[in-house]
Chains A and B, each alone.
Chain A
């Protein structure tokens, strides 16, 4: 087990307004979320001495304007002018989960005391994957000429392999979309809060990239979420009950750029990340009381459930049936609605919900008697990270 387990805790959380398109600069959303998290902890902005994010806009063909389409660490430093800032980082290879892990490491190293991590996501005008041009450079030279234009298709090909190898039926995924939407009605920050989705809506919705229909894809939005991380002893003196970080991991598998469609790479990414998390925390899948698993595309949840060890390969679509993922089910899943219902803000919201469930702060959607709360914060293949938060340090 990890000698540093439960020595860092997630304290405050903050949310901005989530809108379909950009009404105010993204920096305003990021500030709203960061201020909310600091206030939730009962801290003053001058207490914050660490900053971390993953700023990437996962759309192509759009100009990057800091403060408008992304919110970098530099942008946040310029806005906040923190008098006691002592550490910051911006990560690249492991998405927002990597920023959270780096902040935990910095706290353990004693180079900061109260770190803020935020994820701000822009929805550009026009086509999300804007792919103009007559030529295909770099890794895209082997994919773009065949009409592979965005991450959705890369995920979709792996999903057909999964479905047909395991003789499965995509209609079973309706349970995931519909249940998560129902969960989101208890999450006032979610984009789709209050908008119902039925099984029939899912089954009749238009196909985007078979086997993905519209409701297998998260909706691009403009918004931000943020957290305060601190050491466990400091967290105990703050306003909210802490969620203790019992262990984390990151994907160790590797995929050559431009190689797409490999189902085994998704599985290897998830297995490697979760193995570290299970070993460090000392827990196993059967100990988990509630799980948040990244769902930018629905099939990510399938690869996650299987590669993290919650069920056998080929069984995840059956695993989520029969009420198992309900708030009172055997494994309550994506209890905040997931990205499919909150909108595309990436995995920091999954991390937030994992922590809120562990600390008993999830309100109407709180699962009973949670101690061990699991999070898979990105698609396992390229940027996967996993976390366990607990209510009781051990």
Chain B
């Protein structure tokens, strides 16, 4: 059995701040939106006060498709974070979206054996509500691999 059991994990709940609130507001509505520089067009994540490419401060959150590839991953075998002890081993992944090269999102690979995590594997976003306010973007193996 190589599926991680998430049922007994209580995930820490993100606390939005001035920079990050639009990300979480969109996620709650089932939309993945990332910060985009209106001057040079670059996406970035996590959100930041200025564009890390060109220093512009005109940044807006824009929806992205939610399709991408695993940029990197680790499989956790050690319950260093005791809140996740029930799920080990589990795959924590870093996703690079097709629409937002260079912006890297952390997530878990859900509904697949953790051994399916591989660099370059196609994934797509899915939304996991934690409570009424916060919904986590997560990723599944892409159904359509093209």
Count of chain A to chain B residue pairs whose CB atoms are closer than 8 Å in the complex: 139
Alpha-carbon distance between A134 and B84 when the two chains are bound, in angstroms: 12
CA distance A256 to B20 in the complex (A): 13
> In the complex, which residue of chain A has the Cβ closest to the Cβ of B85?
A147
Residues of chain B contacted by A131 (CB below 8 angstroms) = 12, 80-83
CB distance from B2 to the nearest CB of A (A): 13
- A259 neighbours in B (Cβ, 8 Å): 45-46, 104
CB neighbours of B12 from chain A (8 A):
131, 133-136, 140, 144-145
Using known A-B contacts A147-B76, A157-B92, determine if residue A262 contacts B15 with beta carbons closer than 8 Å: no
Please give the distance in Å from B9's CB to the nearest CB on chain A: 8
Q: Of residues 114 to 158 in A, which have CB atoms within 8 Å of B's CB atoms?
A: 127-129, 131-150, 152-153, 156-158
B55-106, CB < 8 A from A: 71-78, 80-84, 87, 89-90, 92-94, 104-106
Interface of A is mostly: mixed
Query: Which of A127, A136, A153, A156 contacts B14 (CB under 8 A)?
Result: A136
- Chain A CB within 8 A of B16 CB: yes
Interface residues of B in 110-133 (CB under 8 A from A): 118-120, 130
Nearest-CB distance from A145 to chain B (Å)? 5
Return chain A residues, CB-CB under 8 Å to B87. 147
B82–A258 CB distance below 8 A: no
- Residues of B that sit less than 8 Å from A by CB: 9-17, 20, 44-46, 48, 52, 71-78, 80-84, 87, 89-90, 92-94, 104-108, 118-120, 130, 136
Interface positions of A (Cβ within 8 A of B):
127-129, 131-150, 152-153, 156-161, 164-165, 206-212, 254, 256-263
Is B13 in contact with A134, judged by CB distance below 8 angstroms?
yes
CB neighbours (8 Å) of A262 from chain B are 104
Identity of the chain A residue whose Cβ is nearest the Cβ of B108 in the assembled complex = A146
B91 shortest CB reach to chain A, Å: 9
Tell me how far the C-beta of B90 lies from the nearest C-beta in chain A, rounded to whole angstroms: 6
Chain B positions within 8 Å of A258 at CB level: 46
User: Shortest beta-carbon distance, B53 to chain A, in Å?
Assistant: 12
**What are 11 A-B interface contacts by the 8 Å CB criterion?**
A131-B81, A134-B13, A135-B13, A136-B14, A142-B14, A153-B92, A157-B93, A164-B120, A209-B80, A211-B74, A260-B104
